[in-house]
Amino acid sequence: MSRIDRRQCLGVFAAGAGMVAGGGALSRLAFAADGIVPDEKSVLLVIDVQNCFLPGGSLAVNDGDAIIPVINELAKKFENVVMTQDWHTPGHISFASSHKGKNPFDTIELPYGTQVLWPDHCVMGTESAELAEGLDIPHAQLIIRKGYHSQVDSYSTFLEADKATRTGLTGYLAERGLERIYACGLATDFCVSWSAIDAASAGLEVAVIEDACRGIDIDGSVNAAWEQMAKAGIERLQSTDFV
Ligand code: VGL
Ligand code: ZN
């Protein structure tokens, strides 16, 4: 279990809270009620907020654009922000168009397990793969890409679907001393939940900010993802939980 302890998140106290010098544990607890203040070990992980996943995009997530202002506001509260891009080769193995007779949302068995087949989306270098124009996070420190191996998908921004190939993000976070992951973005039931669960498996403290995410929801997959995340000790937050 690696639940985020709100007391640990209080790197800074709420503005106007009037912390008395030497206030100690009781004061910290009292101020915790004001909300979470991300500290220098916290990072906002903004997952796949890209044109292809927005309304009108090739793999549009319902209401996906609604999270952009929420994420922009959240990002202002974080010193550390990392963003991700789904970044596929043309003819990627996860595309239905790469498999004769298959349609989007069919599944196939691949050497690494069951693969959902998707419409062509987020092809590297295309406009569809660009980050959403409305994102306003100039202080984001890293943009990490994933899904660029033609024969392996990667919902997770830590570990590809073969469960062996690493993206390098765990090492980056470790080198920078970033231990608390606050995940948001698209889609709740795929790239967000897979990333969150892999981060928890890597020993990081993980929370997912629900109203800063939207899901694709295939046969109840959003609810199933929240259940799996809860089992992995991942905290479920709202953007209003932050100061
Ligand atoms: C995603 C399906 C396929 C995601 C990416 O970002 O959640 N979903 N590729
Ligand atoms: Zn993809």
pLDDT for 34: 77
Our answer on whether the CB atom of 190 is closer than 6 Å to any ligand 1 atom is yes
Our answer on whether the CB atom of 120 is closer than 6 Å to any ligand 1 atom is no
The dihedral through the CA atoms of 86, 91, 96, 97 has a sign that is positive
Catalytic residues: 48, 146, 191
- Rounded Cα gap, residues 52 and 214, in angstroms: 14
Residue nearest to atom 9 of ligand 1 (CA): 155
Domain ranges across the chain = 6-241
Task: Show pLDDT as tens, one digit a residue, over the chain (243 residues).
Answer: 445 554 444 433 333 333 333 333 444 344 456 799 999 999 999 999 999 999 999 999 999 999 999 999 999 999 999 999 999 999 999 999 999 999 999 999 999 999 999 999 999 999 999 999 999 999 999 999 999 999 999 999 999 999 999 999 999 999 999 999 999 999 999 999 999 999 999 999 999 999 999 999 999 999 999 999 999 999 999 999 998
pLDDT for 82: 98
Q: Torsion angle, CA of 191/37/223/97, rounded to 10 degrees?
A: -20
**What's the whole-model pTM score?**
0.88
Which atom of ligand 1 lies closest to the CA of 194?
7
pLDDT for 177: 98
Which atom of ligand 1 lies closest to the CA of 88?
9
pLDDT for 27: 40
- Rounded Cα gap, residues 208 and 233, in angstroms: 11
State the distance from the centre of ligand 1 to the C-alpha of 180, rounded, in angstroms. 23
- DSSP E strand stretches across 79-150: 81-86, 107-110, 113-116, 142-146
pLDDT for 30: 40
Instruction: Decide if 207 contacts 236 (C-beta within 8 A).
Output: yes
Please choose, from the candidates 189, 214, 204, the residue with its C-alpha nearest in 3D space to the C-alpha of residue 235: 204
Opening angle at CA 65, ends 143 and 50, nearest 5: 30
- What CATH code would you report for 6-241? 3.40.50.850
State the distance from the centre of ligand 2 to the C-alpha of 153, rounded, in angstroms. 7
β-pair partners for 180: 42, 205
Look-up of token digits 């080769």: 89
pLDDT for 209: 98
